[in-house]
Amino acid sequence: MTRERYNPKESEPRWQAVWEEKKLFSTANDDPRPAYYVLEMFPYPSGRIHMGHVRNYTLGDVLARYKRARGFSVLHPMGWDAFGMPAENAAMQNGVHPREWTWANIASMRNQLKPMGLSLDWEREFATCDPEYYRHQQRLFIDFYNAGLVYRKTAKVNWDPVDQTVLANEQVIDGRGWRSGAIVEQRELTQWFFRITQFAGELDSALDSLERWPEKVRTMQRNWIGRSEGLMVRFAIANAGAVANAGAHSEITVYTTRPDTLFGASFIGVAADHPLARDLAAGNPELAAFIADIRKTGTAQELIDKAEKRGFDTGLRVAHPFDPDWLLPVYVANFVLMDYGTGAIFACPAHDQRDLDFARAYGLPVTPVVCPPDADPASFTVGDEAYAGDGRLINSRFLDGMTSAEAREEVARRLENARLAGAPVGTRKVNYRLRDWGISRQRYWGCPIPMIHCEACGVVPVPVEQLPVLLPDDVTFDKPGNPLERHPTWSKVDCPRCGAPARRETDTMDTFVDSSWYFARFTDPWNREAPTTASAVARFMPVDQYIGGIEHAILHLLYARFFTRAMKATGHVSLDEPFAGLFTQGMVVHETYKTTSGVWVEPRDVRIEGSGADRRAVHVRTGEAIVIGPIEKMSKSKKNTVDPDEIIAAYGADTARWFVLSDSPPERDVVWTDEGVQGAWRFIQKVWRLTNEVASLPPGDDTPSKGAAKAVRKAAHKAVAAVTEDIERLRFNRCVAQLYELSNAIQGAMNAAAEAGDASAETVSALREAMSIMVQLIAPMTPHLAESCWEALGNEGLVASTPWPGYDPALLVEDEIVLPVQVNGKRRADITVARDADRATIEQAALAQDSVRRAIGDAPVRKIIIVPQRIVNVVV
């Protein structure tokens, strides 16, 4: 009997070599079996993998291995999201070239990933910074351009003064650059845009069809897209002649979602960039100065929402659409955005907080017109807080008494029929908050935009046969700004159309572009002619299960959904939605530690002593007392990280994998603890010990089994059913619990058989069967251990290529049931009887109970009611 400890240092590399040699995880595109595509969000090559990666890839790997065992041809690839600022920062700080830095990081991270034993198809690996990848991205860009999905416009942009680049609105968080943390400024630049708004409606409505996406993510996307139904309303300008430069304007069109509040209108607000404001400013230096001033705030919504409300009275007056004698002032207002709706609003201060703040600042009327359901219409007033909800209309002439919904409809109907200069005053309109995606970045380490600017021809795409537009190698990083722009020759080219000297575009693409189609490229990364191959896309797409962090719930996923539609429109794929199933995993978190003087200390330098209320920490080397802080996401800044390399070196990959799967549901955070890791390690040793005990059982003799056989078979078959269902639903922590239970059942059966002296053939083979099943079930999670056990049990081949076990449904049926017994409706006892026990047996068992007999006493039993499988009632 082997009593040796399981040694992952020896077995893990050995099994990895065997899998690789047999090319077990290479996926052939012409495999006749049905395909299953599981993908984890690919990593940025920062240099080292962290526990978040370990968790993410383990989750995907369990599914990949399971689906393979279920007979699917599984596509499970890995690559690198390799462009981006950190490489340039490294170049600036350490003088290392971004390319070298990136490829060196990729090499070391690949070396860290391989020991995890992930069942990846490494033959499909690519990095997005490889010209063999980005040339195809340039091709897509040109195809999108020709399809009208890419355009250039001058726009106000968010400028990150530290990274010296433009940021998308999505990349501005609390008014700061998402990467640099610098306060964002506003600039006017000519930029390249993807026309994501063309698909706004589809991107919104198709969310309903994504049934295997978390509801939370769908809601976040829905809010981001921001569909609203409203009304365009035209207001006639009453005094254009009296205001300088207003002559060309006779009306202002606003977009409103609250036409019910029209009688609460107090003023009109137009954006600083509204054509009317621009024209008026040309004749009014004071207004021009005001506009220049408010431009300093960034373009991001949250910035504008937070900024103090400021306005400028243009002197213009417009007529209320329902009352030509009611005139409203027109302000240029800093909270009105040009790129939403029409860039103009009517303001109703009582029912919109921004309007209210503005009205209070400028002394404008505040008339409530919607009375909340719980307020008294006669006395309802608005103080500092607008009432934004629905209610009953007041102070609104013919709308009075209507609900908000009725009033919205009534106003829309009337204004659709009213005329101004021969056209309807009101038009219904659906609007989206979503804006087009600005992808120009003034950076070096990104995919070059394949466009050429010619004085005579304008913008000309690089001819497709000349792709890729390669990044030059000889660039400098000694000053901020775009190295491509200051390169002496790179941007100097001849115009492909007329041959005249022209200028290459020096902007590169936002790195979110790179990750917007990599999943499609994985289906055929060998195609040199085109970004995708129709048959491969058809075979593998959509991704059956995509797994990644919730931080990508909006941007990355929305861009990928847009790209898939744009690629369909340009003939590169034939589907709309890239990810049929989405799973967002929780984070790996850990306690934080500090010295008493407030310096962060790494977990590896801390020893925990005592437990419960007495639990305390000391520094391993100095013995000084350490303060235990809250549990937080592992981060370098708080030094509460645990290095996967160290864990794998000490315990092996299987222990790390088992632990990240075991402690909490995969969508929740998992707390990394030393005790947890120890527990995982002990379980792995236990499975190994049990395997060897079962493997060394002598062949059974022909005495009849003493009953242990059936119990252990039942436990194993039940575990198959339960683990199968739990894996299908990604409830891996429950699989872990099932497997703990099964190991206990096998151990129990071994002990019982030994005690009873039961060495029957039936029992021995039941134990062997149960142990083999245990090994098969655990294989997706701890694949190396499983191979070693499979070998020790003397089974054929590799468990990694063995079909998933089935189960015998008959063994899942409980053959005994518990029935409550009542006497005159009062519960007195429970009896355990065979599921198919007959009436007489049940009656006899019920009446044999002491507590039942006592309750009956001397009274004669009048009848016994038995509700089959449910209850027994004795009536006296």
User: Contact positions toward ligand ANZ, by CB under 6 A?
Assistant: 226, 228, 255-258, 261, 335-337, 340-341, 343, 345-346, 348, 351-352, 431, 433
- Separation of alpha carbons 652 and 630, rounded Å: 28
Nearer to ligand ANZ (CB atom), residue 46 or residue 257? 257
**What's the min distance (Å) between Cβ of 370 and ligand ANZ?**
8
Nearer to ligand ANZ (CB atom), residue 170 or residue 352? 352
Which residues does 34 contact at the CB level (< 8 Å), separation at least 6? 71, 72, 73
Nearest to 334 by CA among 390, 273, 388: 273
**What's the min distance (Å) between Cβ of 369 and ligand ANZ?**
8
Burial readout 554-573 (b: 16 or more C-beta within 10 A, e: otherwise): bbbbbbbbbbbbbbebbebb
**What's the min distance (Å) between Cβ of 454 and Zn ion?**
3
Q: CB of 607 within 8 A of CB of 675?
A: no
Residue 256 contacts which entry, Zn ion, ligand ANZ, none (Cβ below 5-8 A, type-dependent): ligand ANZ
Residue 336 contacts which entry, Zn ion, ligand ANZ, none (Cβ below 5-8 A, type-dependent): ligand ANZ
Told to check if 451 binds Zn ion by CB under 5 A, we report no
Residue 348 contacts which entry, ligand ANZ, Zn ion, none (Cβ below 5-8 A, type-dependent): ligand ANZ
**What's the min distance (Å) between Cβ of 491 and Zn ion?**
15
Nearer to Zn ion (CB atom), residue 461 or residue 531? 461
**Helical segments of 260-325, H only:** 275-282, 285-294, 301-306
- Separation of alpha carbons 235 and 250, rounded Å: 9
Residue 454 contacts which entry, ligand ANZ, Zn ion, none (Cβ below 5-8 A, type-dependent): Zn ion
Residue 521 contacts which entry, ligand ANZ, Zn ion, none (Cβ below 5-8 A, type-dependent): none
**What's the min distance (Å) between Cβ of 455 and Zn ion?**
7
Residue 346 contacts which entry, Zn ion, ligand ANZ, none (Cβ below 5-8 A, type-dependent): ligand ANZ
Query: Among 106, 495, 509, 829, which residue interacts with Zn ion (rule: CB under 5 A)?
Result: 495
What is the chain's length? Answer: 876
**What's the min distance (Å) between Cβ of 433 and ligand ANZ?**
6
Confirm whether residue 636 is marked as ligand binding.
yes
Nearer to Zn ion (CB atom), residue 114 or residue 503? 503
Q: To 10 degrees, the CA torsion angle through 723, 726, 731, 737?
A: -30
Residue 497 contacts which entry, ligand ANZ, Zn ion, none (Cβ below 5-8 A, type-dependent): Zn ion
**What's the min distance (Å) between Cβ of 344 and ligand ANZ?**
7
Residue 255 contacts which entry, ligand ANZ, Zn ion, none (Cβ below 5-8 A, type-dependent): ligand ANZ
Phi, psi of 867 (to 5 degrees): -90, 110
Query: Among 497, 607, 616, 768, which residue interacts with Zn ion (rule: CB under 5 A)?
Result: 497
Phi, psi of 583 (to 5 degrees): -130, 130
**What's the min distance (Å) between Cβ of 453 and ligand ANZ?**
32
**What's the min distance (Å) between Cβ of 172 and ligand ANZ?**
17
Nearer to Zn ion (CB atom), residue 450 or residue 700? 450
Nearer to Zn ion (CB atom), residue 287 or residue 495? 495
Q: CB of 663 within 8 A of CB of 671?
A: yes
Peptide bond into 161 cis (omega under 30): no
- Separation of alpha carbons 262 and 256, rounded Å: 9
How crowded is residue 689: how many other Cβ atoms within 10 Å of its Cβ? Answer: 18
- Separation of alpha carbons 509 and 145, rounded Å: 14
**What's the min distance (Å) between Cβ of 364 and ligand ANZ?**
14
- Separation of alpha carbons 272 and 277, rounded Å: 6
**What's the min distance (Å) between Cβ of 456 and Zn ion?**
4
Q: To 10 degrees, the CA torsion angle through 328, 334, 339, 340?
A: -60
Residue 498 contacts which entry, Zn ion, ligand ANZ, none (Cβ below 5-8 A, type-dependent): Zn ion
Nearest to 694 by CA among 798, 771, 784, 757: 771
Nearer to Zn ion (CB atom), residue 425 or residue 495? 495
**What's the min distance (Å) between Cβ of 296 and ligand ANZ?**
18
805: tokens are 């076990």
802: tokens are 């063995």
Residue 258 contacts which entry, Zn ion, ligand ANZ, none (Cβ below 5-8 A, type-dependent): ligand ANZ
Nearer to ligand ANZ (CB atom), residue 347 or residue 471? 347
Site residues for Zn ion, 256-295, by CB under 5 A, read: none
Residue 495 contacts which entry, Zn ion, ligand ANZ, none (Cβ below 5-8 A, type-dependent): Zn ion
Nearer to ligand ANZ (CB atom), residue 257 or residue 795? 257
**What's the min distance (Å) between Cβ of 577 and ligand ANZ?**
25
Nearer to ligand ANZ (CB atom), residue 356 or residue 766? 356
Query: Among 69, 207, 451, 454, which residue interacts with Zn ion (rule: CB under 5 A)?
Result: 454
Residue 431 contacts which entry, Zn ion, ligand ANZ, none (Cβ below 5-8 A, type-dependent): ligand ANZ
Nearer to ligand ANZ (CB atom), residue 353 or residue 595? 353
Nearest to 334 by CA among 174, 193, 156: 156
Strand partners, 317: 329
- Separation of alpha carbons 55 and 72, rounded Å: 23
Read off the DSSP letter of residue 462: P
Nearer to Zn ion (CB atom), residue 481 or residue 499? 499
Nearer to ligand ANZ (CB atom), residue 348 or residue 715? 348
706: tokens are 């003493």
How far, CA to CA in Å, does 777 sit from each of 12, 399, 790?
Answer: 18, 67, 11
Told to check if 498 binds Zn ion by CB under 5 A, we report yes
**What's the min distance (Å) between Cβ of 562 and ligand ANZ?**
21
Sign of CA dihedral 607, 609, 615, 621: negative
Told to check if 462 binds Zn ion by CB under 5 A, we report no
- CA 60 remoteness from chain centre: 14
Nearer to ligand ANZ (CB atom), residue 335 or residue 517? 335
Residue 80 contacts which entry, ligand ANZ, Zn ion, none (Cβ below 5-8 A, type-dependent): none
Q: CB of 735 within 8 A of CB of 726?
A: yes
Q: CB of 860 within 8 A of CB of 874?
A: no
Q: Where would I find the beta strands (DSSP E) of 113-236?
A: 150-160, 165-167, 172-173, 176-177, 185-194, 227-236
Amino acid at 120: L
Residue 117 contacts which entry, ligand ANZ, Zn ion, none (Cβ below 5-8 A, type-dependent): none
- Separation of alpha carbons 731 and 738, rounded Å: 11
Nearest to 513 by CA among 555, 568, 571, 544: 555
Told to check if 456 binds Zn ion by CB under 5 A, we report yes
Burial readout 16-53 (b: 16 or more C-beta within 10 A, e: otherwise): beebeeeeebebeeeeeeebbbbbbbbbbbeeebbbbb
Tell me the helix, strand and coil percentages in the chain, rounded to 5: 40, 20, 35
Query: Among 173, 240, 457, 711, which residue interacts with Zn ion (rule: CB under 5 A)?
Result: 457
List binding-site positions for ATP.
636
List binding-site positions.
636
Contact residues for Zn ion (CB under 5 A)? Answer: 454, 456-457, 495, 497-498
